[in-house]
Structure 1
Amino acid sequence: MSTSKFKTICVFCSSNLGKKKSYQDAAINLGKELMMKNFNLGYGRGNIGLMGLISQTVFDGRRHVLNIIPKALMDKEITGITIGEVKPIADMHQRKAKMTCNSDAFIIMPGYNTIEELFKVITWAQLGIHNKLVGLLNIDGYYNSLLSFIDQAIEEGFINPSAQHIIVSASNAKELIEKLEVMLKC
């Protein structure tokens, strides 16, 4: 049983599987880590792609799964039987706001739209809208260029160096969750 203050972790990831099996393996491993630590899952959109793998793994481990999905995406991204609790909402902005309210931390996995979601939660943290940790699951170096860009933005004075602690990065789920738990204690 986890002694962490985390109860629910929001995961942003792709509704696609990606070309590398390592992305799929990482999604399943993240689901297993969340399940073993007794964390609930908050996510948005559907039950396909990497999101489907994580949500099914957490759900199979008997943890609460909350899918906050815009009504316009329900037919497109929920196939077959729904996983966990499905909460339809109006739009993507409301989805991100609800996910922020219903989660104790964020983990971002590889994907394309996940980059926008990453910057949204970072920006909200910088503005004081939330004070939750943001974990970046950097599988096979997927986010190396983005992390370099952020370092350059800090170096160039566009991001305050004190904001550098907002993102915690690791290449696997176990290490990332351990880092997030350590950061939580600081």
Structure 2
Amino acid sequence: MLSIFLDEVDILCNDEEFEAAFQCIINSSPVTTQYLFGTVTLLVDIYNKIVEIPPDCEVIMRPGIHWTSPHLAEFLIDCSREEDSEKTPDTAFLNKKSAFIQLAEESLVTKGIVFCNRFETCRKVENALKCIDRKGADTQVLPFHAAVSQELRQANVKEFAASPTKDVSLFLVCTDMYV
């Protein structure tokens, strides 16, 4: 049986071209194809779209589907702005940048993955991390986004996945978007 999995279906369903593209997939797939949709947030209107697309759709919802490995440390960094400060993308980034740099400077991070919504933001994060350690002796920044070549992305992931070094913090800065 063929299975097709679409993640972030809540975002896909908001795309005007998704329904036509998905209908094309349905029309060219065997009748026995299983369609699986993943999402963390499921609004009622998105739910209604999902159950209409394949008519025999079975919805399985459960809490705790996302879990964190016990070997990972998670940090919640409060990047709230002051009540009276200006709310702009630049001030929001500066708040996040200063909180993140403080975390990186105060604790030994052997490996960290930083997700950004655009590769332009990745570049800003890369530059901020490089400013922590201008010589690159203690901190290494590995870009993984559309602004670097496929070969470099593969090399950076390979280096990131290798055993950690004791004296160098590795940061993989990435985005899943190609814009």
Higher relative strand content = 1
Higher relative helix content = 1
| Greater Rg by CA | 2
TM-score by length of 1: 0.34
Q: Which has the higher contact order (CA 8 A, sep 6+)?
A: 1
TM-score by length of 2: 0.35
